[in-house]
Structure 1
Amino acid sequence: MTAAVPSVTLAKDAARAHRNARRRRTAVPYLLLAPALLTFGVFKAYPVIDSLLLSFTTGSGTATHAAGVANYRRLLDDPLFWTALRNTGEILVLQVPLMLGLALLMAVGINSTLVRWRTVWRLGVFMPSVTGLVATGVIFAYLLKSDDGAVNWLLDIVGLPAVDWLGQPFWARMAVVLVLTWHYTGYNAVIYLAGLQSIPRELYEAAMVDGAGPIRRFTAITVPGLRPVLLFTIVLSTIGTLQLFDEPYVLTGGGPDNATLTVSMYLYQNGFRFFDFGYASAIAYALTLLVSVLGAVQMRLMGERER
């Protein structure tokens, strides 16, 4: 009986040591993840939660008080918010199909075996996307000047009348569309080019043997083969355009007559010009909801087609 006591004690000590070692092994991954989790919590999660709480307050600067859903009701009756939303939607409807259509055509052209110096062409079409957004806006602001801009100078050479690109509401929106298309078309073309190179060449060869022409091969092989890539670029381009800020801010400042005022610019004005952070936060969450709904609809529609 006396010999059993030390053996029981030793067994308990061994079990305790095993549990402690297991806890240490389990804690190691969390310790390694701790810096990233801390950074995410401080710079991502906390601002998101704080802005959500802020959207239920009203006031200027730090003098705020609880307001319930008053900011969201204010959104529904704010004509300037609906103007910004309409401007953003019009730019989206015009720019995204134009940009992605041109990007797809460019990718198909560069991917052709008939094109020489394809590496140079790839670099050339991608270069605009690495240009800074502010620099792009400043450059195009000079190019599109109504009196001595290079674009109107070229129009005059070919006998066309000058256009007040930045002074007329319609042409100001077209200028924003032009800048966005120039900046992002090459980026999407490179993505499509990567997708094209994953489509087996045997499919095209078999289609040519069957007598399919270029258009038929494009619609029956290229487009279906690029469907996941198309979905990716459509969703990202939609999200990016709904968050549009830099280009119209630098190019037109939201004018003329709020013709290029976007939702993100209106959010910025309320938050950092009028210091109405509660209303600005409500605009941000309204935009987040819109982005989420449109993204889910696009993925749902493209997913059904894929099945």
Structure 2
Amino acid sequence: MNPNRAAWLFVTPALAVIGVFFLLPVLAAFALSLTDFDLYALADRDNLRFVGLGNYLDLLRTPMFWQSLGNTFYFVLVGVPLSIAVSLAAALLLDSKLARFKGFFRTALFAPVVTTIVAVAVIWRYFFHTRYGLVNYTLDLVGIPPIDWLGSADWSMPTIILFAVWKNFGYNMIILLAGLQAIPHDLYEAARIDGASFWKQLRHITLPMLKPTMLLVAIITTSGYFQLFAEPYVMTRGGPLQSTTSVLYFMFEEGFKWWNLGRASAVAFLLFALILGVTALMLRLGRRGEQA
């Protein structure tokens, strides 16, 4: 049998599954975004009209869409660097000779990643309860007045960012830990002989050698954080004052609360274009950094 034909024979089932369960739904959603498909069209297809780019232009004139986009950018710009910094710090600690019981700590720090996000978000909501929460109880012990963590427009998004960082940093930690273990130890031995401190080793050896891994972690984290939904849905319902309404939460309300499925599909593709653009920009900046 021809090797090329055999190769296509083996990959055809996988391509068929991808086409049926991914490509076709994406094409159907894009077609839906070009119509005014809503609850009336769902009941009677005669009410369905082709509007072209009307949904996209209408979204760009909707203040709530821009507010949700701003909230999402706030979440990404603060949460991504914080998550990477915490992940790198944990990976450095686990890779150091000072860490004992490394296996236990790796499992414990990775455990939040595999927990059910809805269940954990409910627990965190009680932790940050204004009257009965453990956080405000601890603050009261040191004389700090209670803070309305999830009911204040100023504190709700930072609280969700803190929860998201705690929930997701273990995944990046494992990737960064693998990158750290791939760095030749001879470089550190030579640096110690030359009298380099820990911070100089981190700046001149660890971080430069981790650039490809850091780029991968940054892209994965950024694309994931742009898809913020479960945290505000469970903890704040997009409030207060829409301060935690993300683009995905806005899409959810458009599609399943107001049944504007055409507009909701348009939101999804605008978010896809945004993530694609940010990812391409990060890849270009990463290549420039490697060439420099």
Q: How does 1:227-246 map to 2 (within 5 A)?
A: 227-246=211-230
Q: How does 1:73-152 map to 2 (within 5 A)?
A: 73-152=57-136
Cα shift at 1:36? 2.1
Cα shift at 1:174? 1.1
* Alignment match, 1:50: 28
Scaled by the length of structure 2, the TM-score of the pair is 0.94
* Percentage of identical aligned residues: 38
Distance 1:260 1:149 in 2: 20
SS at match of 1:57: coil
Whether 1:284 aligns to 2:268 is: yes
* Alignment match, 1:11: none
Deviation digits for residues 69-127 of structure 1 (CA, Å, limit 9, x no counterpart) = 11111011000000000000111111111111111111111111122111111111111
* Alignment match, 1:7: none
Whether 1:247 aligns to 2:231 is: yes
* Alignment match, 1:223: 207
SS at match of 1:275: coil
Q: Which runs of 5+ in 2 are unaligned?
A: none
Select the residue among 281, 286, 292 that pairs with 1:302: 286
Distance 2:5 2:231 in 1: 47
8 Å CA contact 1:270–1:276 kept in 2: the answer is yes
8 Å CA contact 1:196–1:226 kept in 2: the answer is yes
Measured on the aligned residues, the alpha-carbon RMSD in Å equals 1.4
Scaled by the length of structure 1, the TM-score of the pair is 0.89
Q: Which runs of 5+ in 1 are unaligned?
A: 1-20
Cα pair distance change 1:225/1:54, threshold 3 Å: same
Q: Tell me the matched-pair count.
A: 285
Whether 1:263 aligns to 2:247 is: yes
Cα pair distance change 1:275/1:200, threshold 3 Å: same
Cα shift at 1:29? 4.3
Cα shift at 1:35? 2.8
Whether 1:157 aligns to 2:135 is: no
Cα pair distance change 1:26/1:301, threshold 3 Å: closer
Cα pair distance change 1:159/1:216, threshold 3 Å: same
Query: Rg: which structure is higher?
Result: 1
Whether 1:38 aligns to 2:22 is: no
Distance 1:115 1:171 in 2: 35
Deviation digits for residues 191-224 of structure 1 (CA, Å, limit 9, x no counterpart) = 1111100001100010111111111000000001
Cα shift at 1:158? 2.0
